[in-house]
Amino acid sequence: MNCNAPIGVFDSGVGGLTVAREIMRQLPDERMVYFGDTARLPYGTKSKATVIRYSLQIVRFLKTKGVKAIVVACNTATAQALEEIQAEVDIPVLGVIGAAAKVASAVTKNGRIGVVGTTGTIESGMYTKALKSFDPNVQVYGKACPLLVSLVEEQWLHDWVTEEVVARYMKDLEYKSIDTLILGCTHYPLLRSVFRKVAGEDVVLVNPAYETARELGQLLEEHRLRCDSDVESAGTKYEFFVSDAAEKFCDFANSILPYDIEQVQQINIEGYD
Amino acid sequence: MNCNAPIGVFDSGVGGLTVAREIMRQLPDERMVYFGDTARLPYGTKSKATVIRYSLQIVRFLKTKGVKAIVVACNTATAQALEEIQAEVDIPVLGVIGAAAKVASAVTKNGRIGVVGTTGTIESGMYTKALKSFDPNVQVYGKACPLLVSLVEEQWLHDWVTEEVVARYMKDLEYKSIDTLILGCTHYPLLRSVFRKVAGEDVVLVNPAYETARELGQLLEEHRLRCDSDVESAGTKYEFFVSDAAEKFCDFANSILPYDIEQVQQINIEGYD
């Protein structure tokens, strides 16, 4: 495997860009291919079989790009399809749940962990399952926050409306005396400062995007796959692909990434069966 | 056709219940079978071919219930599949766009009409097309309001957060000096008083749920299909079916309908191919 090959990252839409952003920050020498399945989002309401089928199509597409590792930057695809993806390829594959759950279960002092996410993520109990696999004694309190994805996509990030909405959602978790909170939706890292303000300094915020990028760095080290920065990397450093509506994706990406992306290509993902 | 047969109403989810509610109010003697495709929502992001396929499956299901007329209480299904449904059955079929567009184009004095809806509805231009078919000279200004469906489903209906969000969305339309506003999403009739407050008394609000129920009444009269209220109707008056998660549907339905529904049945809609 060529250590200068790109990392493949995918999500059902734009949310996974927060993970891509963390990878750019923490592993600035690495190349990346990002795929957002904007035509078929959301994944949270789809059956396990469908999420597996979609994920494997994307993995086959990413393989055509010669990726050296894959990051599943989508909570639903991680919960439903991670094992199937790992069985499909012989490169390192990591999801967005494991690293965050590991850190949260290690840092909590009172064993009371809150998780915020979409209705699909919370109802599935995916974080509870992962947290209990690291420490069966933790108490996990989930809270679905259906308005937050739209608020992020409207880019009302530093806004008193968003602050009020987050405060209402957090009320239930405050009563549970949590000392650790997982931002369990890929959109929520963009609301980190709002959650910090509402939750106060005594609650540890765990950001799965950050933890996943960290775990990816370690995994690449272990597999001796870190990019050799002395070598001039061939081709474009970051490439972006979507299954629908490239313009809207581009707008959102440019609002959150540390550099402006010029080109997003739309591909027919159904063709990778 | 038996005039005491039920009316079939369907939507991709719960939104169409506002149309069902208007039918219950305006046509209190009529029986109804409602189907919400909760497993496969939202329709707004799906291809025309998929929306047609899903809609025809639902129509075939409704036919097994012996319905005497069908109301497509979903903006996307109306725009994408109304003609195909009409070709499939020999009973009256009406959508949720036509009646509202007809009324709006008739009541506007300055010819400047606003439409609020989901991103899918606004981007498709479905109301613009319908309005221009009644009057090619009207100016139509669409505004996508992505937060409003979640706000309604959270039931923050009489809430200052919702009022602030509506006020922000309405800003663009106010600059256009509209005198008529179509509430172009089946969830929005529940925000009617908020829109009234924000838009002021000088803007006519057009509620597609109300106009559709009115048109249905006329259509049943024309076809001599109005229920004969002297006859005791056989079976349950209102029946509700969904493709997924009956409980959540039930909660929402009971919060907006004028009576409590006891039972919602989950069916396998894929089987009606």
**pLDDT tens-digit profile of A2-54?**
899 999 999 999 999 999 999 999 999 999 999 999 988 889 878 889 899 99
Residue B185: band (very low, low, confident or very high) from pLDDT cuts 50, 70, 90: very high
A163 class by beta-carbon count within 10 Å (0-12 exposed, 13-18 middle, 19+ buried): middle
Residue finishing a domain among A188, A208, A228: A208
Instruction: Give a yes or no: residue B247 inside a domain.
Output: yes
Contacts of A81-90 with CB under 8 Å at 24 or more apart are: A81/A48, A81/A51, A81/A52, A81/A55, A81/A56, A84/A52, A84/A55, A84/A56, A85/A55, A85/A56, A85/A59, A88/A56, A88/A59, A88/A60, A89/A59, A89/A63
| Residue B181 sits in the same domain as residue B223 | no
Instruction: Give a yes or no: residue A1 inside a domain.
Output: no
pTM above 0.95, yes or no: no
What H or E segment, with its residue span, contains residue B264? strand B264-266
| Residue A197 sits in the same domain as residue A218 | no
| Residue A203 sits in the same domain as residue A107 | yes
Q: What is the mean pLDDT of residues B122-129?
A: 94
- For chain B, the domain total comes to 2
Work out the minimum CA distance from A12 to partner chain B, whole angstroms.
13
Q: What is the mean pLDDT of residues B243-258?
A: 88
A165 to chain B, any CB pair closer than 8 A? The answer is yes
Instruction: Give a yes or no: residue A28 inside a domain.
Output: yes
Q: Which residues of A touch B146 (CB under 8 A)?
A: 150, 153-154
Q: Which residues of B touch A146 (CB under 8 A)?
A: 150, 153-154
| Residue A89 sits in the same domain as residue A216 | yes
Residue B246: band (very low, low, confident or very high) from pLDDT cuts 50, 70, 90: confident
Q: Which pLDDT score, from 0 to 100, does residue A233 have?
A: 55
Q: Which residues of A touch B39 (CB under 8 A)?
A: 45
Q: Which pLDDT score, from 0 to 100, does residue A91 have?
A: 97
> Which residue is closest to A168 within chain B, CA to CA?
B161
Q: Which pLDDT score, from 0 to 100, does residue B262 have?
A: 80
Residue finishing a domain among A153, A175, A208: A208
Give which of A45, A54, A152, A266 to mutate to test B binding, by max B Cβ within 10 Å.
Answer: A45
Q: Which pLDDT score, from 0 to 100, does residue B139 have?
A: 98
Instruction: Give a yes or no: residue B1 inside a domain.
Output: no
The one-letter code for the residue type at B148 is L
Instruction: Give a yes or no: residue B162 inside a domain.
Output: yes
> Residue B208 carries which DSSP code?
H
Among A4-13, A236-245, B27-36, B161-170, whose mean pLDDT is lowest?
A: A236-245
Q: Which pLDDT score, from 0 to 100, does residue A104 have?
A: 98
Q: Name the residue range of residue A59's domain.
A: 7-95+210-272
Catalytic residue among B3, B145, B185, B250: B185
For residue range A212-222, what is the model confidence (pLDDT) as tens digits?
Answer: 999 999 999 99
**Cβ separation A150–B150 shorter than 8 A:** yes
Residue finishing a domain among A167, A185, A208: A208
| Residue B136 sits in the same domain as residue B262 | no
| Residue B61 sits in the same domain as residue B187 | no
| Residue B261 sits in the same domain as residue B184 | no
Low-confidence spans in chain A with pLDDT less than 50: none
Residue B231 reports pLDDT greater than 60: no
Highest-confidence range of A248-262, B21-35, B39-53, by mean pLDDT?
B21-35
> Which residue is closest to B160 within chain A, CA to CA?
A161
Instruction: Give a yes or no: residue B12 inside a domain.
Output: yes
Q: Which residues of B touch A50 (CB under 8 A)?
A: none
| Residue A105 sits in the same domain as residue A178 | yes
Instruction: Give a yes or no: residue A2 inside a domain.
Output: no
| Residue B43 sits in the same domain as residue B135 | no
**Cβ separation B150–A146 shorter than 8 A:** yes
CATH code of the domain containing A134: 3.40.50.1860
For residue range B78-113, what is the model confidence (pLDDT) as tens digits?
Answer: 999 999 999 999 999 999 999 999 999 999 999 999
| Residue A166 sits in the same domain as residue A181 | yes
Q: Which pLDDT score, from 0 to 100, does residue B68 have?
A: 97
B71 neighbors B11 (Cβ within 8 angstroms): no
Q: Which pLDDT score, from 0 to 100, does residue A71 have?
A: 98
Q: Which pLDDT score, from 0 to 100, does residue B40 have?
A: 86
| Residue B78 sits in the same domain as residue B91 | yes
Residue B155 reports pLDDT greater than 80: yes
| Residue B53 sits in the same domain as residue B69 | yes
Instruction: Give a yes or no: residue A220 inside a domain.
Output: yes
**Cβ separation A165–B161 shorter than 8 A:** yes
Residue B258: band (very low, low, confident or very high) from pLDDT cuts 50, 70, 90: confident
| C-alpha triplet B217, B218, B223: angle, nearest 5° | 100
Dist CA B58 CA A229 (whole Å)? 57
